[in-house]
Structure 1
Amino acid sequence: MTPLPNYNKRILLVEDDTELAGLIADFLSRYGFEVITVNNGTDAVKQVADLQPDLVILDVMLPGMNGMEVCQTIRSFYTGYILMQTALDDDADQMRGLEIGADDYVIKQVQPHLLLSRIYALLRRSERRSPPASTTIEPNTLMCGPLVIDLSNRTVVLNQLPVETTTAEFELLVLLASTVGQVVSRDEILQKIRGFEYDGLDRSIDRRISRLRQKLVLDNGKELIKTVRGVGYQLCVYSD
């Protein structure tokens, strides 16, 4: 078995169960993480603003300001990764979290090593963001026809108009743009942006594609993201 890497990264753990928070913090610290814990949403927002951690593990059920509200609030100033924890295997909670800016989710109480794997998968994303030179118009910028993606500022412009994307949507768009014109399978998407294989059941990528597709429509009604049935997804560039 390949040894797990040892990251020297800062994690903010937002969990109102102090015993569980202590167990998670102790476990993650063995792998080189600096873990700061808070037990309510209001303090979480302040800590994210002050510390700008590399990753936030955010419980949905919190006293006062809940995890969904925290996620939506911090996304206005925080560009790091958000891993949400939900108490129930509820698609509605998971979809809502992804829509407002979460990058991934786990079901409580997740096995420690699975949690660790999800954390590694998120942190590895920053190692895979460099686009092929052929699609670059200037450093850290991708251009696919009328679509311009600024990797440094994490902004998207289509036909000279800004397109608002969540962090998860942006990561997916960068992957599709870096392979523009090619079909990318669900399995490849999950491998590259979440670190595990497609099991035939996970629909989070489909939902993310659907939301992103609605945002990337040309004036003539053509959609930039095409579904190739039974194969995967493709970012298309149309000539004028």
Structure 2
Amino acid sequence: MSLGQQLHPHLPFVRRYARALTGSQAHGDAYVRATLEAIVAAPEEFPRDVDPRLGLYRTFHAIWSSSHLDDADDDGDHSDHEAIARARLSRITPLSRQALLLTAMEGFTTDDAAYLIDVSADDVDRLVAEALGEIEAQTRTRVLIIEDEPIIAMDIETIVRDLGHDVTAIAVTRDEAVREAMAERPGLVLADIQLADDSSGIDAVKDILAEFSVPVIFITAFPERLLTGERPEPTFLITKPFQRATVKAAIAQALFFDEATAPA
């Protein structure tokens, strides 16, 4: 099997990670393209002594580490999301966020995360704790949950409240979601893709975003469909069935980039 064939199944998930890390589909996908270009240009440098997924993320991290600090200094070429993030970097480092996302969202073990970001396993545990503590301490908001499965909705509500956020409503259809959002504007939306009346959570979010800007995290059992890199797609995505830590990490990262919670 060729290297390209080995890496292909992992591309949607490295896109998910890159988007969450940068807070932008465009920037995240650009880093993934740069990673693939680097692999094509020098395939002999691709790590062959580890699983292809680990090698892919390791190569991504080499690209990220060598470029993102320079990007942050370029005042003429970065998104509003990045500008907001830079205002917070004094309180939480990119390395901390990487450790959190790799373990909680991407499901890597502590040892694998340590390999990917070139630190010890003990350092990964410390960085994850630091990331959760710092991000959760500086982001509090009101959350609209769009989810038609009662047990899942209750679980999400518990996680959201445990993080110190308020829940404005739990909506089960597109129309209800839009109505609830207009009644009390949330600071974050958590949206399932398929809703109770066969309406779409994506359409509900589009309707809401047409009225005001708000960060959104989508929840889906089929993440590959929204991680192609070929069209406008979600920046933050949680895969069903999810772990509580995954939801916490996604919420923290989405709010990290949200202008409404930017420090004064």
Q: TM-score range by the shorter chain?
A: 0.3 to 0.5
| Greater helix share, structure number | 2
Q: Could you say which structure has the greater relative contact order, defined with CA pairs below 8 angstroms and 6 or more residues apart?
A: 2
TM-score (norm 1): 0.48
TM-score (norm 2): 0.43
| Greater strand share, structure number | 1
